[in-house]
Amino acid sequence: MKAIICRELGPPEKLVFDEVKEAPMGPGEVRIAVKGAGVNFPDTLIIQGKYQMKAAPPFTPGAEVAGTVLAVGEKVKHVKVGDPVAAIVPVGGYAEQVVASGDSVMPLPPGMDLVAAAGFPLAYGTTLHALKQRGQLKAGETLLVLGAAGGVGLSAVQVGKLMGARVIAAASSPEKLALCKQQGADEVIDYSKESLKEAVKKLTRSQGADVIYDPVGGELAQDCLSAINWNGRYLVIGFAAGTIPEIATNRLLLKGASAVGVFWGAFVAREPKASLENFQQLFGWVASGQLKPYVSKTYPMREAGQALRDMQDRKVTGKIVLVN
C-alpha cells in the first residue's frame, strides 16, 4: 500500500509518499480502508520529534482516520466488514490502509460524510471533554475561544453554542472572524488589531469570560488571565503559538479562578466510559443536524507535506483533511 513516511525527523518537506508493507492485524484490531485522514497541529510536532509522544523513524504520521472496515479481528464485535467508521491511532493514519485497536474504532451515524468524519474525533473529542468535564461550562455563561478559526477553535465555537453559552471568538484576521460568525459566534475579537483583555472587558461589561478555551498559548495567556470572570476556568488546550506561557498565579488568586489542563488522550485511556458517552452526544448532534463539522480544504494524501506546512504557517482555517 502507499503511505506517507517520515524517514528522518524534520520539517514537512522531508516527508515522502512511498510503498510500505501492510501492517499485520491482531485479534483485537480492525483494518480500515482510509478515505480521509485528519491533519492536526500535533502532527507538525511529532515529525520533528517535538511532541510529548515520540515516534522513531521510519513511521507514518496521522492520528485520526475515517473509512470503511476491510477486516475485523475475532475479538471485535461492534463493527463488521463494510461499516463506515472513524478511528484514533497513535501513528499511521496518513496511508491507504491502517490497523487500529478495536477500542478506538467508532461506528459512524448514518449518512455522515467520511471526509468530515476524518477530521472529527480529535477536535470535537478534545472540545467536548474540555468544555464539559474540565470547564464545567453552563448554559448562559460566556465562553472565550482563542485561535477560534482553527480546527479545535472552531469546534469550540460550535459546541459552546450547543451547550448554551454566549461565545466570543478571538482570531487574527477579518476573514477568520467572518468564518467564526458564520459558525455561530455571538461576538468576535481581532487580537491582531486590539487588546484582547480590553475587548473582552468591553463585551462583558468588565466581568470577564467564565470559561476561556486556549489552544494558542504564548503571550495571549496573560491577557486571558486579566479577562477572566470571578470563579472563571482557563482551559489549557495547547500551544500553537510555539511557546509555553508562564501563568501569573496571583491573577488566579484575585479572581478565584482556575487554570485547568486538558489532555484528551489521557482522558480517553483513563475514563473510556465517559469518553464514549461524549462521542454518543457528539454523534447525536451530528445525526440530528445540530452539529455540522467544517472542513475548509482537502489535499491528496501524497500532498501531506504541503498540508502540514500550511497548518504550521497558519494558512488554513477550520479542519483540513488528506484524502485517498
Q: What pLDDT score was predicted for residue 222? A: 86
Q: Mean pLDDT throughout 245-259?
A: 92
Confidence of residue 248 (pLDDT cuts 50, 70, 90): confident
Question: Which of 259, 6, 244, 240 lies closest to 123 in space, CA to CA?
Answer: 240
Residue 206 CA, chain-centre distance (Å), reads 30
Beta strands 209-214; 228-236: pairing state: parallel
Q: Mean pLDDT throughout 188-210?
A: 95
Q: Mean pLDDT throughout 36-40?
A: 96
In this predicted model, which residue has the larger pLDDT, 103 or 83? 83
Q: What pLDDT score was predicted for residue 314? A: 82
Average of per-residue pLDDT values in the chain: 94
Confidence of residue 51 (pLDDT cuts 50, 70, 90): confident
Give the amino acid at 99. V
Q: Mean pLDDT throughout 63-77?
A: 97
* Spatial contact of 175 and 194, defined as CB atoms under 8 Å apart: no
pLDDT at 309 over 90: yes
Confidence of residue 287 (pLDDT cuts 50, 70, 90): very high
pLDDT digits 0-9 by tens, 208-222: 999 999 999 888 888
pLDDT at 240 over 90: no
Side-chain half-sphere CA neighbours of 19 within 13 A: 0
C-alpha cell at 117: 468524519
Task: Give the whole-number percent of the chain exceeding pLDDT 90.
Answer: 85
Q: What pLDDT score was predicted for residue 185? A: 97
Of 3-12, 16-25, 314-323, the poorest mean pLDDT is in 314-323
In this predicted model, which residue has the larger pLDDT, 186 or 273? 186
Of 63-72, 105-114, 155-164, the poorest mean pLDDT is in 105-114
Helices (H), the chain: 41-46, 114-118, 121-128, 151-162, 174-182, 196-203, 220-226, 249-255, 264-270, 272-288, 304-312
Q: What pLDDT score was predicted for residue 242? A: 78
pLDDT digits 0-9 by tens, 295-307: 999 999 999 999 9
Task: Give the whole-number percent of the chain exceeding pLDDT 70.
Answer: 100
